[in-house]
Amino acid sequence: MDLELPPEARALLDAMVAIGSDLDLRGVLTRIVEASCRLTDAEYGVLGIVDDEGAFTDLVPNEAVATQFAGIGRMPEGHGLLGLVPRERRAIRVDHVADHPVSTGQFPPTHPLVDSFLGAPVLVGDQAFGHLYLGNKRGGEGFTTTDQALVEALARAAGVMIDNARTFEQVEWRRRWVASTAEVGSDVSGTLRVQEALDELVVSLRELCGARLVAYVRRDGELLEIRQVAGEGDAAAVAERLSAEIRDVDGSGVPTRIHAGPGRATLVVPVQTRLAGSGVIIVEEAEESPSLRGIMLDLVAVTAVQVGLILDRDQALRDRAQLLVAKDRDRIARDLHDLVIQRLFATGMQLQGARDLDASALRSRVDGAVAELDVAIKELRAAIFELGTGSGRPLLDEVRSLLGEYAGILGFQPVLRVSGPVDRALVPEAGTHVLTTLREVLSNVARHAGASSVSVELTASSAWFRVRVTDDGVGFDPGRVVKGHGTGNIRARAADLGGHVTVTSSPGAGTVLEWVIPAVG
């Protein structure tokens, strides 16, 4: 005998089957709202998604009201009946909204007018995922007890379906993350390859997280050095704004999440290394869906570990190369030292034995000793030159030291951004010009700009080396250059090296100076 189900039960089962046929979380949520409206004959329906603090982060409306909700332009604040449902954590049914004691009677101008109301919490386990709100039962009647029972049952079933959809979305996100990062760093060797690997990682992170900007920021004391950037916006400004969080995360080693608006968060994750210095990864305004809120920070932290391993490996190879050079130079110094000492000792013995020689033999002995001394001098000079070549610090270390020096003069720490193989792009002589130019530019900023922030950008490519200094000071009119702004020597130095200088400024809008020379390293 076939069991005949009541129409309401059949409608509820059909709704559950329809909802369960979708694995996409947004699709599941939309089906929940539409099914609720069909079951209760509601004109309007919306599922408000909340974060861990109970604030609304997203709204999923039914098709009939979607265009009106798009024009409201802001999230509910949880007042009135919308706030009563989460406070009571139970279904609320009201025949006339305006008559209810908690109703504020205030709606945004584009909000549809609601008379009858039915709301119910949607729980995933014991945690509130969101709240389902239905308005205006068709025909002008109020929602019934049957409507409330159907919505309560649907909300309980929806919690299970949402949990399944969230699990599917998390698995899919992890799969994409593994696919995008698995190949990076597998064969990293050389400065250029390291830069490419790090660039690939930050680009992949930005795409996966839907972030506005992703940057790897190295911290050297108070100096923030921006190394890799992907996305839109001013990375230096973001680093300055988050400087306190960067210091805290770098010091504690604990990643942090900063709420950045509905469905968005900024992540600051430490990059811990043994050899390459400390730093953080900033993921600015990541798109945090309800499914990814719990795992995105963890997976970004795993990426930060991968970045740390790449940096440590690169630094270890650099240290090994330096040790090999030092060992080889020590061997050269030892061999030449022994050779020269022996030559000088032999020459001294020749001169000592010349005391009893006649004038002709003595002259010949002295001439031979002079020749030996000339050879010894040449060997000493060669040894000193060879051992002295390349003994200076890398250009990047010199720039960091210079910016630290000018922090006291400017009254704040400039932000450094580095792109490309800066240490290998120039010969030492050109590097000296870079430091001299940068010192003069920073002195001009200190004397004339009245700035509160300065960013210094070093960019190295196969063809050009660029120094870009940006300040937020008073600026000036380039058409009426005031003597003393000090760009004459800067321009002459660039011209001598085959480069050029560009200055962009206007009163009250700060100044940008670009100093570009050929890469000759």
The three state secondary structure string of 434-503 is HHHHHHHHHHHHHHHHCCCCEEEEEEECCCEEEEEEEECCCCCCHHHCCCCCCCHHHHHHHHHCCCEEEE
Give residue for tokens 């570990």.
Answer: 305
pTM: 0.63
CATH code 3.30.565.10 for 395-518: yes
Query: What does the pLDDT read at residue 1?
Result: 36
Q: What percent of the residues of the chain are helix, what percent strand, and what percent coil, each to the nearest 5?
A: 50, 20, 30
**Cα separation, 303 vs 181, whole angstroms:** 8
Query: What does the pLDDT read at residue 383?
Result: 61
Residues in CB range of 152: below 8 A, 6 or more apart = 91, 120
CATH of domain 189-307: 3.30.450.40
Question: Which is nearest to 246 in space by CA: 273, 229, 266, 263?
Answer: 266
Structure tokens at 392: 């200076």
**Cα separation, 172 vs 178, whole angstroms:** 10
Report angle CA 98, 102, 104 to the nearest 5 degrees: 60
Strands 415-419 and 454-460: parallel
Query: What does the pLDDT read at residue 3?
Result: 43
**Cα separation, 292 vs 19, whole angstroms:** 21
Q: Give the CATH superfamily of 7-175.
A: GAF domain (3.30.450.40)
Q: Dihedral of CA 188/192/195/197: which sign?
A: negative
Query: What does the pLDDT read at residue 301?
Result: 84
What is the per-residue pLDDT across 451-495, written as a single tens digit (0 to 9) for each?
Answer: 888 999 998 887 889 999 999 988 887 776 655 445 778 888 888
Query: What does the pLDDT read at residue 6?
Result: 47
Q: How many CB atoms lie within 10 A of CB 329?
A: 17
Burial class (CB in 10 A: 0-12, 13-18, 19+), 310: buried
The residues of the chain scoring below 70 in pLDDT are: 1-23, 52, 67-78, 104-111, 180-192, 290-291, 294, 321, 325-326, 328-329, 331-346, 349-350, 353-356, 379-392, 480-486, 520-521
Query: What does the pLDDT read at residue 467?
Result: 93
Residues in CB range of 206: below 8 A, 6 or more apart = 213, 214, 230, 231, 283
DSSP state of 357: S
